Amino acid sequence: MTPSRVTEFRRAARERLAGYKHTTLESAPGMRAAAVVLCVVPGDDGAPCVVVIKRAYRGRNAGQWGLPGGRTEPGESPEQAALRELEEELGLVVGPADVVGRLDDFPAASGFAITPIVAVPAAVQPLRPDPREVHSAHRVPLERLAADDVPKWVDLPDGPPLLQMWLAPDMRIHAPTGAILWQFREVVLLGREAAESRVAHFRQPVWTRR
């Protein structure tokens, strides 16, 4: 049987992330821990896609683009928190064996240290967004994420440029989520070296501090 494209990606991602030395943020006063999942699933044509969500129009980050995830509860590892949130928000049941690695912790301006977990479920499951937390869920082809025209750098008069990830005409994503997607693209999809792919210094829009 010919391996599916998602299975092939799962193998390649595990190999690349095994050799990637991710950075971990030390805990500090006022810093809270969170975890998100870069969950890769098949699209309608079988091509591997990463799941991106639009948050419900209520509560924290209302209406913003994001990745499945949330706050780490006491006693949880980042992996446990990420997989719990994935099930709560999208109904995807993913086990530890489906985790293929992790990327750098990201220091969000909102005070969270966000740990990105990369998971590729072995079983195909439907996305079942919980409307209390998720307005909509989208499968973005990895081929699109790797395209040259996705990252755009916007020059600003008061400091470093601002990254925008243009995944679709109506899907423009900034840091922190945009930075995490950019690192996933650079490290996992394009095979860049770690020194070329760090994102902790990326500028974040003022509204992400909420």
Q: Is the pLDDT of residue 2 over 80?
A: no
**DSSP β-ladder status, 151-156 and 65-66:** unpaired
Going by C-alpha positions, the residue among 132, 150, 131, 130 that lies closest to residue 140 is 150
Q: What is the pLDDT of residues 162-174, one digit of tens each?
A: 999 999 999 999 9
Which residue has 């760090």 as its token pair? 198
Q: Is the pLDDT of residue 1 over 70?
A: no
Q: What percentage of the chain's residues is helix, strand, coil (to nearest 5)?
A: 25, 30, 45
Going by C-alpha positions, the residue among 104, 127, 102 that lies closest to residue 176 is 104
pLDDT attached to residue 177: 98
Angle at CA of residue 18, ends 14 and 20, nearest 5°: 120
DSSP letters, 141-154, are EHHHHTSTTSEEEE
pLDDT attached to residue 163: 97
Q: What is the pLDDT of residues 139-163, one digit of tens each?
A: 999 999 999 999 999 999 988 999 9
Two tokens at 137? 């869920």
Report the pLDDT averaged over residues 111-115.
96
What is the dihedral sign for C-alpha 138, 80, 177, 129?
positive
Percent of the chain residues topping a pLDDT of 70: 97
pLDDT attached to residue 3: 57
Give the C-alpha distances (Å, rounded to integers) separating 144 from 47, 88, 159. 11, 27, 29
Which residue has 């699209």 as its token pair? 43
pLDDT attached to residue 207: 73
Contacting residues for 180 by C-beta, under 8 A, at least 6 apart: 36, 38, 67, 103, 106, 114, 116, 199
Q: Is the pLDDT of residue 210 over 70?
A: no
Confidence of residue 209 (pLDDT cuts 50, 70, 90): low
Mean pLDDT of the chain: 94
Q: What is the pLDDT of residues 119-140, one digit of tens each?
A: 999 999 999 999 999 999 999 9
Convert 27-63 to b/e letters by CB count within 10 Å (16 or more is b).
eeeeeebbbbbbbbbbeeeebbbbbbbbbbeeeebee
Q: What is the pLDDT of residues 53-108, one digit of tens each?
A: 999 987 777 789 999 999 999 999 999 999 999 999 999 999 999 999 999 999 99
Report the pLDDT averaged over residues 14-40.
94
Report the pLDDT averaged over residues 166-192.
97
Confidence of residue 29 (pLDDT cuts 50, 70, 90): confident
